[in-house]
Amino acid sequence: MLFTLFLFAKVTIAVSISPIKGIVEEIGGKQFRYEVVYPEGANPHLYEPKPSDVLKVKKSDVFIFAGRAEPGAKKLCRLAKRCISLERLLHTTRRTNPHIWLNPLAVHALADTLATLLSYYNPEYKDTFLKRAEKMKKIIDSLLKLNKKEKGTVLLMHGAFVPLFTQLGYKVEVIAREPGVEPGATIFKTLKEKASREEFILGVCEEGRPCKILKIVAEEAHFPVIFLNPLYNTSFTRFLENAVMKINNAAHSSK
């Protein structure tokens, strides 16, 4: 009986943040058990793991995190039975935007690698994992191809969404270097001057983060502002589909 329970026990995959779960689960499906280590909404750049987080990682079979964007996760990595950095899988450089979970082409490049990785733990589902990876890539290809046109300049509160918007054909201007930090008076003045000279077609704030300055500039310069969740709690392709729809609707309304 114990042998039977062990035989059919699901492998547990611990992930640092919910978007990583969304990417991995889209390929792994219900063949695995998933454990999100960070609390919902926690800033991955600043979060320091607690003893309860350490326990989750130690009990899991593998721990997956993004990379440089999560310094706290590096500490957990040392305690895991097996640790996977998505940045290492992609062989990225320090110049690469570290927000892999918001980068369609990075997720596209990871899909087959993740399918192979998951096949190590569940070999009988290898073909299923590869088919899911292929489906994910086709959806990403379709959304980028249909929406990649020169559309104008978007004003981003933070640089996390730069890859998404550049891959969709937008030029970008980033206000703050750190998430959740409002710019000072000098930057505010510069932004207002730029907005009076250059036609921004859209402003983008992060859900749950301060965005007062961008909204003031947008109101004065008459362009719409949308909110996107960088810590989405859904599959990657659903996040991408919803984001593209919201972006297109807002950009169209500004014309």
> Could you state, in order of their start, the residue ranges of all structural domains in the chain?
11-145, 149-253
Q: How far apart are CA 235 and CA 225, in angstroms?
A: 24
Mean pLDDT along residues 117-137: 97
Q: Which amino acid, one-letter code, is at 183? A: P
Nearest Cα neighbor of 64 from 101, 10, 103 is 101
pLDDT exceeds 80 at position 198: no
- For tokens 């994992």, what's the residue? 129
Identify which has the larger pLDDT, 29 or 193: 29
The pLDDT confidence band at residue 254, using thresholds 50, 70 and 90, is low
Task: Give SS3 for 253.
Answer: helix
Q: How many residues does the chain have?
A: 255
Q: How far apart are CA 14 and CA 134, in angstroms?
A: 23
Tell me if the domain spanning 11-145 has CATH number 1.10.490.10: no
- For tokens 């919803």, what's the residue? 242
pLDDT of the residue at 1: 43
The pLDDT confidence band at residue 199, using thresholds 50, 70 and 90, is confident
pTM summary value: 0.91
Give the whole-number percent of the chain exceeding pLDDT 90: 71
pLDDT of the residue at 150: 63
Mean pLDDT along residues 231-251: 95
> Given this chain, do its domains 11-145 and 149-253 carry the same CATH topology?
yes
Q: How far apart are CA 16 and CA 74, in angstroms?
A: 10
Contact yes or no for 179/206 (Cβ under 8 A): yes
Give the whole-number percent of the chain exceeding pLDDT 70: 94
**Angle, CA of 153, 95 and 240, to the nearest 5°:** 50
Mean pLDDT along residues 119-139: 97
pLDDT of the residue at 95: 82
Domain 149-253: what homologous superfamily?
Nitrogenase molybdenum iron protein domain (3.40.50.1980)
* Element at 140 (helix H, strand E): helix 126-147
The pLDDT confidence band at residue 6, using thresholds 50, 70 and 90, is very low
* CA distances (Å), origin 19, targets 9, 95, 146: 25, 22, 24
Mean pLDDT along residues 166-182: 84
CA atoms lying within 13 Å on the CB side of residue 250? 22
